[in-house]
Amino acid sequence: TIGASSYQFSNDGQPERTGAPTLGLIGNGNTTDRFGLYEGFTQLDVIGLPLPLSLYGQYIRNAEARDYKNYTEGDEDTAWLAGFRTNVSGIALDYNYRVVEQNAVVGILTDSDFAAGYVSSNGHKLRAQYDLLENFNVSLTWFLAESDAASRNNGDDATVETFMLDVNARF
């Protein structure tokens, strides 16, 4: 599987422009108010192995990134993710590593579970899921991320560790 997408957003047409991005954008670590996102993604299902295996990846670039303070072209404009999925003895496993630079994506729309929802972060996601019944499963997800946007006040990267236990029923 292979695919692509594009997303365009600009807040620079506001008549009351203050020189700063909207609160929602800066609240999650962005320093730009312009987004021209171009994304490519892929998944490869490997066959012929003793276990099922899927490899997947995603790459995003913000072609419109610029620093709102001095309107220079930004270089914190890419994000990527690489991972795999498999199933071992009825337990579905999913792992990925991702890097999200400061202005690569719209911060307020980024994964809120990873790095406390901040951009300018990188780290791991590990998920294990077990089907208890046909339409009932339980999963445990662990996120381990480093984010300098989440720790703006102290200047050091913050380690953000999140555990989630989900119980899902389908009907």
In the chain, what are the domain boundaries? 2-169
Q: Which fold has domain 2-169?
A: Porin (2.40.160)
**Which residue in 57, 95, 56 sits closest to 79, CA to CA?**
57
More confident call, 10 vs 154 = 10
- The mean pLDDT value for 58-68 works out to 83
pLDDT, tens digit, 9 for 90 and up, residues 69-86: 555 566 788 999 999 999
How sure is the predictor about 17, in pLDDT bands with cuts at 50, 70 and 90?
Answer: very low
- The mean pLDDT value for 114-142 works out to 93
How sure is the predictor about 11, in pLDDT bands with cuts at 50, 70 and 90?
Answer: low
Task: Answer yes or no: is pLDDT of 66 > 80.
Answer: no
Lookup result for tokens 């389908």 = 170
Residues 6+ apart with CB under 8 A from 106: 7, 9, 25, 30, 35, 37
pLDDT, tens digit, 9 for 90 and up, residues 130-168: 999 999 999 999 999 998 866 555 556 789 899 999 999
Distance CA 31, CA 99 (A): 17
CA atoms within 13 A on the CB side of 20: 6
Question: Whole-prediction pTM value?
Answer: 0.82
